[in-house]
Amino acid sequence: MNYTLHQLQVFFKITQTQSITKAAEELYLTQPAVSIQLRNFQDQFDIPLTEVVGRKLYITDFGREIAEAAEKILNEVYAINYKTLAYKGQLTGRLKVSVVSTGKYVMPFFLAPFLKQHEGVELVMDVTNKAQVIESLERNEVDFSLVSVLPDTLPLLNVELMPNRLYLVANTDTKYPGQPYDWSVFETLPLIYREKGSGTRSVMEKFFDSSGIKLRKKLELTSNEAVKQAVLAGLGCSIMPIIGLKNELRNQDLRIIPVKGFPISSTWQLVWMKNKNLSPVAVAFLDYLKREKQTIIQDKFSWIEA
């Protein structure tokens, strides 16, 4: 056997994502590079690690056993690195965070200064939809999750970060006079939705259910970025968090349609399981947030108020 740590890391990520494409994205590698590493790793075993059925990748039973062993080896490598840094008096360890898709415009600004202060801390951040974020919490796969709508099925603790304001937006070719509309405007607009399980969609549907508005649903798309591109292309309007629209509004590619009672709001919250034993790194990050969050909000997000 002559496999490398890099091959173990690539194979383990493939088993986690069940996809060469997704593994490449999460490892910041090209798809061909991941395929080559998988092939070179497979060449060292007489038993298949993976199989493809109907263009879908599956991990064999033997492959899962190798993945479990790979995870243990990688964890030991991380432990060696952390112990070396800890010996030097540095805060060390891994901070695992899952973030709803729109949260990628929020969470990095709260993480970056902390990571710069503590070079021995390694960040693992997964960006996905709300349903999968909650699942990662339930499985105890992460230290924290960032959500804008709290689930009511889990015993959680939380720290509120900042408001999440949602506006009705359209591209600049859409002709609407600059006046506040009443809710009847939604009966005529082609509205683009996020997928079921999205926090943004949950806030939208709660608002519409409470107001009794009849809607025209035009499209349903699976990411905030996809919705934004569809609105830019003129396929319809959407209710979107302003946090992800800074450049488009500044460049006048998108415009806010004024509606009475808008924006509708939720709150960005960092959550964790109530019975979770937080690591020293996780405890340090919470302490840091409590001290610095207002400064970060003022420095990085004051443009929202403007």
What's the CATH code of the domain at 256? 3.40.190.10
More confident residue, 190 or 116: 116
Average pLDDT estimate for 156-179: 86
Residue 154 included in any domain: yes
Domain count, the chain: 3
Query: pLDDT digit string (tens) for 88-133?
Result: 556 778 899 999 888 899 999 999 999 998 888 889 898 887 888 8
Residue 118 included in any domain: yes
CATH number of the structural domain spanning residue 55: 1.10.10.10
Share of the chain above pLDDT 70, in %: 94
> What pLDDT, on a 0 to 100 scale, did the predictor assign at position 85?
58
> What pLDDT, on a 0 to 100 scale, did the predictor assign at position 71?
87
pLDDT at residue 38 above 90? Answer: yes
Same domain, 223 and 176: yes
pLDDT bucket at 270, cuts 50 / 70 / 90: very high
pLDDT at residue 212 above 90? Answer: no
Sheet strands (E) in 77-155: 93-100, 121-128, 144-147
Same domain, 155 and 214: no
Record the tokens describing residue 157, joined without a space: 């603790």
Angle at 292 between CA 289 and CA 297, to 5 degrees: 100
Gap between the Cα atoms of 289 and 41, Å rounded: 42
> What pLDDT, on a 0 to 100 scale, did the predictor assign at position 89?
58
pTM: 0.67
Provide CB contacts within 8 A for 306, sequence distance 6+.
none
Cα–chain-centroid distance for residue 259? 29
> What pLDDT, on a 0 to 100 scale, did the predictor assign at position 10?
92
Residue 42 included in any domain: yes
Gap between the Cα atoms of 88 and 90, Å rounded: 6
Q: How many CB atoms lie within 10 A of CB 124?
A: 13
Residue 83 included in any domain: no
